[in-house]
Structure 1
Amino acid sequence: RKNAAADFFMGIVLRDSHMVVDAIIDMGAITNQSNMKSFEREVDTLIAEYLTMPMNKVKLDELLRKIFQIVYSSHIKVPHEFALVAKALGMLQGLVEKLAPEINFLMIAEPIAKKLIYRSFSLENAGDHFKKSLLAYYHLFSELPATLRNILRKAAGESLNVKFELTDMNMLQRRLERVFNRISFSVMLLAISIIIAGDLISFGLSAGKSAEMHAFNIAILKTGLVLAVIIVLGLIVSMFRSRR
C-alpha cells in the first residue's frame, strides 16, 4: 500500500485521473467492481476540469475535497493510508500558503512527483519488483502439485463438491413471474375481447328476432365487459406493484 499511496500523490499532483483511480483500487478501497467505472468517470471529469486551469490557480485542498465527495458518494471504503496522504497534502498546502502565499503548492510538488515516477522506473526498483514477482511465482508453482493432488484425491473419492451459484436469482425469478402474469392477463383480455366482438356481431344479426335471444346477448355482453374491466384493473395493479 506504500506504493499505492505514492501513486495517489503523483496522480493528484500530475492531475492524472487513471493514476488516482488505480492507486485507490490497489489500496483495496473498491470492493464492488460495479462502482469502479462510474467512479473513474467522475474522477476523470473532475481532473479534466482542473487540467484546463493554470497550475498557479489550482487549489490542492479543494481538489482533494471534491475527490473525497466522489469517493463517499460512490460508497467506497476509504483506506487509512489514503486518508493520511490526502490529509498530509492538505496540511502542506495550508502551511505553504501561510509561509509564502505567492507560491502554489502544486508547483513545488510537481518536480517531486516526477522524481518519484523516474524512481519507480529505475533499474533498482525494477530489479526488486522482478525478484518479488519471481518469488511469488516460485511459491505458486511449488504449491501447485500438492493442490492438484488434493483435488484428484477428492474427485476419485467422490467427495469433490463444486458450488455453482447464480447471483440475483431471486430477482430474476420475480421478474419472470411478473412477465408471465402480464402475458396471462393479456391472453385472458384478448379472449374476452374476442367473445365480446362475437357477441356484438350476434347481437346485430339477431336484432329483429325474439326478445329472449336479445336479452341473452345483452347478458353475455355485460358479463364480458365486467370481466374485461376486472382484468384491466388487475393489469394496472400488477404494473404498480412491479415498480416498487
Structure 2
Amino acid sequence: MRRPARYEHLRHLRRYREIATILARHGLNVVVEQVGLARWPGVRGRLSGTKRPEEEARARGRNLGVHLRLALEELGPTFVKLGQVLSTRPDLLPPDVLRELSRLQDRVPPFPYELVAAQIEGELGRPVERLFARFDPEPLAAASIGQVHAAELPGGQPVVVKVQRPGVRRTIEADLDILMGLADLAERYSPLADVYPFREIAGEIAATLRAELDFVREARNAERLRRLAKGNPAVYIPRVYWEYTTPRVLTLERLEGKKLSEDVAASLSPAQARRMAQALVMAVLEPMFTEGVFHADPHPGNVMVLEDGRIGLLDFGVVGHLDAPTRRRLTGLVIALLRGDTDGLVRSVVALAGVPPDVDRRRLRRDLEILRDRYYDVPLAEIDLADVIPHFFEVLRRHRVRVPAELGLVGKTLLTLQGVTSRLDPGLSILDLARPLGRRLLRRYLSPREASRRLLDRWEDYGEPLLDLPVQLHRLLLEARAGRPLFKVEVVERDELHQGLSRLVNRLAFSVLLLSFTIMMAALVVAGALLGRSEPVLRFPFIEIGVAVLAVATSALLWAIARSGRL
C-alpha cells in the first residue's frame, strides 16, 4: 500500500529544512512560502527575521538573480545543474535572473585517480594500462557529473576520456526526488499553480538531467553532429571511439588548438574573425533548421580554434532536438518577424507554444506588433539578438504563454552564439552572418513541397475530425430515428428570452424588407442602364415610386418597433 503523499515528504524533511534555511539566508523566503515549504515543522521559524528579497537585494547591492544563483551554488551540484537548465527557460524567468543563472559554474573538486581507474575497468572490462598506451592521472577538467582525462590509444591516437563520477547517479536521483516533492508541494499550496504546471516543469528538468548521465547518448549526439558538419569545411567535430565508450565512459578524439575562452580572438585579423564566426553560426543554425539537431551549449569554453584554422566543437552533453513540425513553425516565426507580418507572428506563436484559452490575443498581437516595429527598419547587421530575444520572451511570459523547453533552449543557444561572435568581433551580428542560410530557408519555406508539408501538419487538427464527421452525423440520425432528443435546452428566464427573440425577429424583418427593396431597385436601375427608356415597362416611374414606398414602409416599421421598445 502506497503511503500518503505527506508521509512521502517526511523522508526528505531534513533536506527541506536545509533548502529553506539556505533560501532564507539569501533573502528568498518568499520562494519558501510560494513553494509550500513554510508549512513544514521547523521551517517557519527559520524564516523569521529574514528580509524580503527586494530589501535584501538593496542591502547587498544585488538583484534577485544574484541571490538565486548564490543559493543554488550553496545547495550543491544538482541544484547548480538545475539552475543551468532553468537558464534555458525564458518563458519562466525574467531576463535579469536568466543572465545570472547562465553564470552558474559547475565547480567541484576532482575525484581520485583510483576511482577513475576502477570506474573504467568496471565499464570496459580491462585495466587502464591495458586499454590505453598512456593515461594522464591528472584531469583536464572536473564537473559534478564527471571529469576528463587526456590519454592515448594503443595505435597512437590522442583522445580524451570522460569518466562519470562514482555514485553521482544515486545522488542526482535523490535530489530529483526532492525536486519532484517540491513541485508537488507547489502544485498543492502555491497560488502560482494556476499559471505554472510545476510538476510538468520539474519532470522536464529531471529528464534533461538524466539525459546528461548517459554518455552513450552524448556519443550519439557527437557522431550525428560530426556527420552533419561534413558539408562545412570550416568546422570539425571529434570522432567517437565506440569500443572505448559505455554509458559511464566516453572516449573522443582529442583536438589540438586553443579555446576561445583563452582569448585567442585578439590574435585574429578581422577577416579571420568574421570567417570563424560565420563558420560557427552555420555549424549550429544549419543543422538546427534542416535536421532538427544542434549544439546547444556553444560557449567559448566549448569552442576551439584549431591549429589549421578551423573551428572545433567540444562537449555534446547538451544537444537540442526539434521535430519536423516544430522546425517548420519556427521557420515561419522567423520569416514572419523579418517580414513584419504580425498576424503570421501571432499564428506561429500560437502554433509553437501553449497559449492558455483565456489569453487576450488582441493584446498579445498588439505587444508583438510593438516589438516588431522596434526592429522593423533596422538593418540585419545592426540587430542585436541579445536585445531581441529577451524582449520577445518577456512578451510571451507577460501573457502567460508557456514555451516548450526545446524552444527555450533555442533562445538560449542564440544568445550564447551572439556572445561568442561578439567576442570574435563586437560588430558582428548573427542575423547578418546567417543571411545565406535565411535565403535558403525562405526559398524552401515557400516551395510547394513545404506548403504541402505544412498542410499535413494541420491534418491532425482538422483533417481527422473532418473524416470523422460522417460517423458523428450517422450517430445523430440514429438518435433522432430512435426518438431521443438531440439537444437539451434549458430556459432560465422565459421573459428575457421572449423579449430577446422579439428583438431578433423585428431586426430580421426590417433587414429582409430593406434588402428586398434594395435588390428590386438595383434590378430596375441595371435594366434601365442596359435597355434604356425605350422599353414601355421602363417608362413607368418604378424607381421613384419604389423609393417612396420603401421610405413609408421603413418609417412605419421603425415607428411600430420603437413603440414596442424591442429593437
Same fold (TM over 0.5): yes
Q: Which consecutive residues of structure 1, in runs of 5 or more, have no partner in the other structure?
A: 170-244
**Which residue matches 1:62?**
387
Alignment of 1:24 onto 2:355: no
The equivalent position to 1:82 in structure 2, one of 391, 407, 413, is 407
Q: Classify the secondary structure of the residue corresponding to 2:428.
A: coil
- Residues 176-195 of structure 1 show CA distances to partners (whole Å, capped at 9, x for unaligned) of xxxxxxxxxxxxxxxxxxxx
Pick closer, same or farther for the CA change 1:152–1:127 going to 2, 3 Å: same
**Which residue matches 1:43?**
368
**Which residue matches 1:239?**
none
Conserved? CA contact 2:353–2:401, under 8 Å? no
Pick closer, same or farther for the CA change 1:106–1:13 going to 2, 3 Å: farther
Conserved? CA contact 1:119–1:125, under 8 Å? yes
| Shift, 1:11, TM fit | 3.8
| Shift, 1:130, TM fit | 5.9
Following superposition of structure 1 onto structure 2, how do residues 50-199 of structure 1 map, counting pairs within 5 Å?
50-129=375-454, 142-160=467-485, 162=487
Distance in structure 2 (CA, Å) of the matches to 1:163 and 1:115:
55
Pick closer, same or farther for the CA change 1:35–1:82 going to 2, 3 Å: farther
Distance in structure 2 (CA, Å) of the matches to 1:15 and 1:90:
22
> Which structure shows the bigger proportion of residues in helix conformation?
1
What is the TM-score normalised by the length of structure 2? 0.26
Distance in structure 2 (CA, Å) of the matches to 1:108 and 1:148:
55
What is the TM-score normalised by the length of structure 1? 0.55
Distance in structure 2 (CA, Å) of the matches to 1:68 and 1:144:
39
Conserved? CA contact 2:380–2:431, under 8 Å? yes
Letter in 1 for 2:331: A
Letter in 2 for 1:146: V
| Shift, 1:4, TM fit | 1.3
Distance in structure 2 (CA, Å) of the matches to 1:101 and 1:108:
13
Pick closer, same or farther for the CA change 1:134–1:53 going to 2, 3 Å: closer
Pick closer, same or farther for the CA change 1:123–1:164 going to 2, 3 Å: same
Conserved? CA contact 2:385–2:415, under 8 Å? yes
Q: Classify the secondary structure of the residue corresponding to 1:149.
A: helix
- Residues 46-68 of structure 1 show CA distances to partners (whole Å, capped at 9, x for unaligned) of 22122233433321121111111
| Shift, 1:110, TM fit | 3.3
Pick closer, same or farther for the CA change 1:137–1:74 going to 2, 3 Å: closer
| Shift, 1:8, TM fit | 2.5
Conserved? CA contact 1:14–1:110, under 8 Å? no
Letter in 2 for 1:94: G
Distance in structure 2 (CA, Å) of the matches to 1:39 and 1:135:
26
Distance in structure 1 (CA, Å) of the matches to 2:395 and 2:489:
35
Pick closer, same or farther for the CA change 1:101–1:61 going to 2, 3 Å: same
Pick closer, same or farther for the CA change 1:14–1:80 going to 2, 3 Å: farther
Alignment of 1:7 onto 2:7: no
Pick closer, same or farther for the CA change 1:25–1:147 going to 2, 3 Å: same
Q: Classify the secondary structure of the residue corresponding to 1:78.
A: coil
Letter in 1 for 2:417: L
Letter in 2 for 1:120: Y
Letter in 2 for 1:152: L
Letter in 1 for 2:473: L
> Which structure shows the bigger proportion of residues in strand conformation?
2
Q: Classify the secondary structure of the residue corresponding to 2:418.
A: helix
Moved more, 62-71 or 84-93: 84-93
Conserved? CA contact 2:333–2:349, under 8 Å? yes
User: Higher RCO, 1 or 2 (CA under 8 Å, sep at least 6)?
Assistant: 1
Q: Classify the secondary structure of the residue corresponding to 1:75.
A: coil
Q: Which consecutive residues of structure 2, in runs of 5 or more, have no partner in the other structure?
A: 1-325, 493-567
Letter in 2 for 1:148: L
Distance in structure 1 (CA, Å) of the matches to 2:407 and 2:476:
40
- Residues 97-149 of structure 1 show CA distances to partners (whole Å, capped at 9, x for unaligned) of 12333321111233322321210122332454567778998755653332211
Conserved? CA contact 1:14–1:113, under 8 Å? no
| Shift, 1:24, TM fit | 0.7
Letter in 2 for 1:153: L
Pick closer, same or farther for the CA change 1:72–1:132 going to 2, 3 Å: closer
| Shift, 1:150, TM fit | 0.8
Number of corresponding residues = 166
Distance in structure 2 (CA, Å) of the matches to 1:77 and 1:134:
24
Distance in structure 2 (CA, Å) of the matches to 1:137 and 1:54:
39
Distance in structure 2 (CA, Å) of the matches to 1:109 and 1:54:
13
Q: Classify the secondary structure of the residue corresponding to 2:360.
A: helix
| Shift, 1:13, TM fit | 5.3
Q: Classify the secondary structure of the residue corresponding to 2:386.
A: helix
- Residues 23-43 of structure 1 show CA distances to partners (whole Å, capped at 9, x for unaligned) of 111124323365111111111
Conserved? CA contact 1:5–1:85, under 8 Å? no
Conserved? CA contact 1:9–1:85, under 8 Å? no
